[in-house]
Structures are given as C-alpha cells and as structure tokens.
Structure 1
C-alpha cells in the first residue's frame, strides 16, 4: 500500500490515468485509501486478538486515535507550508479540521472499540458459512447500521441552497450562490456530505484544493487542473469535502 501511495503521489501528476479521478469513476490512486483502511482493519484483528483488560485496551485505542488525529491536524491543518510559500503562523479560523489522517483516526477508533467490546472471546475455530456470521454477528450489525444510516442520509436528506464569498488576488470580494434544493444528488456542489461538513465544521475549515477542480465544470484542461471555463459551475471556487459523496 505504501509503495502504491508513493507511485500515485509522485507519478500521478505526470500520468492522469493513475491520478485521482476528478469525481465519477475510479483510478489506481482511488484504491489507496480503501486499501489502507483495509490494512488498518486487518491489523486491528491481530492487535486485539486477545484482550485481558478491555478498559485498558480502550484507553490505548483512544490514545492512539487521538495521536493520529493530532498528527493529521498538524500535517494537514496548515501548519506546514510549501517550500516557495514561507509564511509563519496558522490562521485558526481557516485551519483544515478533517483531513485524511483525522478521518482514518475516527475509523480506527470505531473499529477498535468493536474489536475490544464485541469480539467473541471463545478461542474455538472460526469455521465457515453461518459459523463466521454467528461469530462476528455484532460487528456485522454495526457495519450494517452504519452503512444503512449513511445511505439513507445520502439519498434522502434534502440539500438546500448555500452561499459563500471568495476574496480574489486583487482583494475584491466575490459572492456566489449555489442553487441546490435536491435530494440524492452526488455531484460536487449539492451532495449531503458537503452540506453536513459545511454545517458542522464551517466552510472555512474545508479543503481548499479538492479533486473536483479537475472536472470539466471547473477546468478547461480536465482531467488536469487548469483555468476556470467561462461557464464554470458556481461551486468551483468553494472549498468542499475531501472525499466523494459516494
């Protein structure tokens, strides 16, 4: 997974076919994050195979998740700058709150708690077929509830219109209105994921260089980054969620 991550990060800019898909579709780079989470889940199964003290194990899991969250906040929150953009200090009002590592930390904590508190303590063999389902019935139930809840929210919750302002390079303020009023939309501008992130974290704390900037709506050089087209979508200059809605 680490080798794949290095390849897509270093070569993806030169070969768009393996770089992140602008929105719909999947490329080689789009498999890195799911594979990484899969490895995290597998490692947790071994790490918590035998838990003598669930309270102590829970404290360790919370501590590890907290460290990973803080590391993500430090690395992706704006504390580090590009080599050609040497500035000092961080604007707390615009710091990126939920980067990749922060989301991995949350997923790690949920899965770790499931492994600690819901694991079947019996050491008998897993077996096959129904025996596997019976042994991991609680974990499967948690996964089913989370997946079902996400699906219902994604396709049933209405997304209202929203507005934002952008300060251009000449210090002029531009005002944008994004018309939504839809349900179940999975495009960049009117999906539920973006609406929830804007409501909870605030639009100023979202990612300012999301992959949707490579779409034909926002780039004349799509699937590469480029200047905005003359008929660019009204949400193209807004920071949105780091991930796709689906």
Structure 2
C-alpha cells in the first residue's frame, strides 16, 4: 500500500537556508500529485550534491554520474512485488493452504506481505524527510496523512462492505472492527515519521559510524519499543476470560464460552497478552472474527485449512482475535524504523557497493537473530508479531530490496519490471480494489431489476451461449 508523500515545504524563512526546499525534497511516491513526477528524476542529483558537500567518506570517482538522471525505481518495484504477493495469497491461499497465513507459529509466503509493506514505508520516509526545514509543519502534515489512512482503513475494513451476495452495506458501530492493515500502517508510519523529523543529529557524515551516531536516538526508540513489547508479552498475567457468539439454534440467544488461562508469558492462541490487551481496550466485539488459529489442528479437522470443529475442540476456537492489534503493532513500528535505516543509507551513500554492503550486513544479522530466537523458544509468529518474526521478515525484506536494487537500478533491467513498477506506484488503489471487496461490489453493483442480473450473470450467460454455438 503506497502512502502518499508530499514534499516537506519549509516555513516562511526557508529561502534563507541556501537551498530550494520545494525542489530538493520532492522524493518518492507520487500517486496524488502529478506535478511531483517532474521532480522525481532529480533524486540522485540532489542526494549526490548533499553528500559531496557534507561528507569526506566518498571520493569523487565513486559517484555515479550515469545514474544521476534516473530515479530509484527499486522502491516502486519492491512495493509492486509485494502487491502481487498480496493478491496471490488472497486469491490462491484458499486453494493452497501452504502459502496462506500460518495458523499460528511458523512462517509462510503470506506472512511476508505486511512486514514488506511496513519496511518499504520506512525506506520511503528516509527519502521524504531527508531534509526538513520546518519540523512543526512537517509534523502536522505527517499527522494528517496518518489520519487519512486511518479513516480509510476504518471505512474499508470496519465492516461497511458486507453481504456481497445480497448487496447490503452499512456499519454497525457496536460491532465494527477498529484495527486493520491500513490502520497498522498508519500508526507505524506516524511513529517512524516523528522519529525522522525530531530524532536525528546533524548532517555531517564521514563514515558508517557517524551514520549510526546521527540516528542513534531512532535506534534507542526502536530498542525501547522492543523492550516494552517483550516485557508486556512475557510479563503480564492473563486471567480467565469469556466471550459470546450467536447460538446456532436460536436467532436471539447468545452462547457463552469460558476460556481458562491464569498464566503469565503464554504465547498460545488462547492466553496471550496481545489478545488480552485488545479485549480490554478495544472490546472483544471490535476484533477480527475469523482469526487464523481457526485453522489449527485443535480447531479444524481440515487443518491447515478452515473446516468444521473437531468434537474435542477447545473453547477458544471461535473467539475473535485481531492480527493487527494494539500490542502487536508495536513491533510493526520497529519494522518501519528498520526500513527507515535502509532509506538513510540511500540518502547518505552514493556508491553502489557501499549501499549493497550496508544493506546486507544488518539483513544477515536480523535473519540469523530471528532464526536463532525461534530455535531457543521465541517462536516466529505473525499473529503476535513477535520479535523473532520482526527480525526474520526485516532481514528477508532487506535481502529482497538489495536484490531488486541490483537488478533494476544497477543492471538496468527495467523492462522486465515495468508492470511491478506501475503496480508499486498505484499500490493503494490496487489494494482497495483487490483486497477490500471493492471490485466485487463494482461488478455486482450494477444490475437489471434483480441483483442476480449483474455483470457476472451477463458474462456467465455469454460464456454458456458461446459454448452452445461452438458445440
């Protein structure tokens, strides 16, 4: 999902800063404003000028003048590839459960989609806010962008579109889902943007070490978020709890289920702190109603696919649980901050080898750390967004981004990725159409006299009629 970024324009005194802020900071993501397209190709020239003026790290012959008039296409290609992955797992995941989200612990193809989006949002933020002349104005714009994305997520994923077969729409405020994919991205974007606007040092860079010093407070923020998450996940006590669902034998009665917990540090589906916090703060009626743990062996005879409940299914199998909940979004913020560091490398290092090297080193460290933590008991878990899951997916995102950068921006294989580049530029629109039931609503929403006389029915009639003519 592309988040629309605008150039960070300065305050009234920006003309005294010795630069053209309006031109210097028009970077990346141009879904809203066509005027930005004219500026995007100047990215490498602008960054190169800043680095040459402020850094002794790169000798002049290491600059890449042949790339100076080309934008960084790998950002769009990475995002477009993530969109393709999202569509693939949404449409094919039901047929191939092996690529669908893991029922609980473990990692599948679908589990990479969310962290990949968060990672590339962070990378883009490193470019968008590379030079901010007025922090207050930049903060206001970042808050407004996050609010727009949050409201869009509430509208699309809060339950407005339902009943596709009988074309019924509307929101039951008492039952609407409060969190979701776009809401999580909005929160992570806002936190990363605030860190980039307010928590960075001076512009003078001479080495990789000074890069870490410049953004040390951002790494401190990531560390604090990680400590808070791990402390709460393993430290809070989870008491017994209960929930209600409509009784299948009665249209008005509610069946009550009691879940026995009384534990601390449990990371199973029933008694984890992530679910408890969401139930206490958001309310169980505002959580996602079809969680992935319904596909576990305890809850489905067709595991790892959805299926009827086993006769001895535990009471928590039908409980609501939000995979984009409050506590799990804390580690999503850290993924965005990791991507932000990769964006800093783009801004402050021009040499291809330096960029690749400085991407692969932390990617390897994240990947190895995450796998080691999983072996020693901190399981890779997407629903809880565990620290090990963050490490593995951030490392994978770093490797993938470096590979795309090598293929597209260094080797120049753009023709093979034109479709992905286009999808990356329009990722938010594609997400809305493909993943939020907007396309089915458009197809079914126009009909003649009866809802079944829609475009789908007309196309079905044409196919059958053509088949009869051929036969």
Q: TM range, normalised to the smaller chain?
A: over 0.9
SS at the partner of 1:176? strand
Q: Name stretches of at least 5 consecutive residues in structure 2 with no aligned partner.
A: 1-81, 325-382, 387-471
Is the Cα contact below 8 Å between 1:126 and 1:135 reproduced in 2? Answer: no
Return the alpha-carbon distance in structure 2 between the equivalents of residues 68 and 132 of structure 1: 31
Return the alpha-carbon distance in structure 2 between the equivalents of residues 228 and 219 of structure 1: 5
Is the Cα contact below 8 Å between 1:18 and 1:29 reproduced in 2? Answer: yes
Q: Which residue number corresponds to residue 238 of structure 1?
A: 319
SS at the partner of 2:174? helix
Q: Which residue number corresponds to residue 114 of structure 1?
A: 195
Q: Higher relative contact order at CA 8 Å, sep ≥6: structure 1 or structure 2? A: 2
Q: Which residue number corresponds to residue 163 of structure 1?
A: 242
SS at the partner of 1:180? coil
Residue 75 of structure 1, aligned match among 122, 137, 156: 156
Tell me the TM-score normalized by structure 2. 0.51
**Bigger Cα displacement from structure 2, 43-52 vs 113-122:** 113-122
Equivalent pairs, count:
244
Is the Cα contact below 8 Å between 1:161 and 1:177 reproduced in 2? Answer: yes
Over 3 Å off, 4+ runs: none
Residue 142 of structure 1, aligned match among 205, 217, 221: 221
Return the alpha-carbon distance in structure 2 between the equivalents of residues 126 and 109 of structure 1: 29
Return the alpha-carbon distance in structure 2 between the equivalents of residues 55 and 82 of structure 1: 44
Give 1:86 deviation, angstroms: 2.7
Give 1:120 deviation, angstroms: 2.3
Return the alpha-carbon distance in structure 1 between the equivalents of residues 299 and 322 of structure 2: 16
Give 1:88 deviation, angstroms: 3.7
Give 1:179 deviation, angstroms: 0.4
Matched, 1:102 2:177: no
1:1-246 aligned at under 5 Å gives the runs: 1-122=82-203, 124-125=204-205, 127-128=207-208, 130-169=209-248, 170-171=250-251, 172-243=253-324, 244-245=383-384, 246=386
Return the alpha-carbon distance in structure 1 between the equivalents of residues 176 and 238 of structure 2: 25
Q: Which residue number corresponds to residue 355 of structure 2?
A: none
Residues 87 and 234 of structure 1: CA distance in aligned 2, closer, same or farther (over 3 Å): same
SS at the partner of 1:94? coil
**Bigger Cα displacement from structure 2, 62-71 vs 210-219:** 210-219
Tell me the TM-score normalized by structure 1. 0.95
Return the alpha-carbon distance in structure 2 between the equivalents of residues 30 and 144 of structure 1: 23
Per-residue CA deviations over 1:50-101 (Å, capped at 9, x if unaligned) read: 1111000001100000001001000000011242143243110001001111
